[in-house]
A and B are shown apart, each in its own frame.
Chain A
Amino acid sequence: AQTVTQSQPEMSVQEAETVTLSCTYDTSESDYYLFWYKQPPSRQMILVIRQEAYKQQNATENRFSVNFQKAAKSFSLKISDSQLGDAAMYFCAYRSTKAAGNKLTFGGGTRVLVKP
């Protein structure tokens, strides 16, 4: 079974600065998807960014980018120019490409605090 680990329970960042959230995963599959979701206090789950394992290029969405290291099974998220609205829980998630395994496996989450 796949597992996802987020080793940082909480990270603090100054407004306008950069913060990097770590995520590692364990799988025996070669093709899969990785995601970062944001959960603000409203508890909505908002997709931040996704990465397909067969793509070597790191995904980028505006101020959010990932560092995908497939061999190391690492998928970190970098938030640049942090804004107050970035304060939330961030969850890393794994999804198999196999039809029977389309469920998401989540990491434990990292709380991001943004200091004004």
Chain B
Amino acid sequence: GAVVSQHPSRVICKSGTSVKIECRSLDFQATTMFWYRQFPKQSLMLMATSNEGSKATYEQGVEKDKFLINHASLTLSTLTVTSAHPEDSSFYICSARPLSSNQPQHFGDGTRLSIL
């Protein structure tokens, strides 16, 4: 089946550091990828939709300059948390949907980000 690889799985870094998270579709092409954030014991909240070759679409309340998204190819999207602070600590999950419109999204295994 379709596989999405997300890297790294765990990041611990100091406040002020910028952190890049990668999301790759391994055996399919994805014009659209999605980035979610999940707080403990809560549901997934969509942060932004990553569009290959164009600007990402951010959900209301998500800071574009804080969470930079790049989708340079049909198999790779990156999320960069710039100048991270403790309140950015969370679980980030990406998903990708194959080009065929009736296919479900496939999720990466997530990245646990801890900012000290």
Within 16-49 of A, Cβ neighbours of B (below 8 Å) are at: 33, 35, 42-45, 47
Q: Write out the residue numbers on chain A whose beta carbons fall within 8 Å of the beta carbon of B49.
A: 103
Contact: A91 with B44, CB < 8 Å?
A: yes
Contact: A47 with B46, CB < 8 Å?
A: no
Picked from B42, B46, B105, B106, the residue with its CB within 8 Å of the CB of A108 is: B42
Q: Write out the residue numbers on chain B whose beta carbons fall within 8 Å of the beta carbon of A106.
A: 43-44
Main secondary structure of the interface of B (DSSP, over half): strand
The size of the chain A interface, using a CB distance under 8 A, is 21
**A53: shortest Cβ distance to chain B, in Å?**
12
CB pairs A–B below 8 angstroms (19 shown): A33-B104, A35-B104, A43-B38, A43-B91, A45-B44, A45-B93, A50-B104, A52-B102, A91-B43, A91-B44, A95-B105, A102-B32, A103-B46, A104-B105, A105-B46, A106-B43, A107-B43, A108-B42, A109-B42
Query: B: which residues have CB within 8 A of A?
Result: 32, 34, 38, 42-44, 46, 49, 91, 93, 95, 97, 101-102, 104-107, 109-110
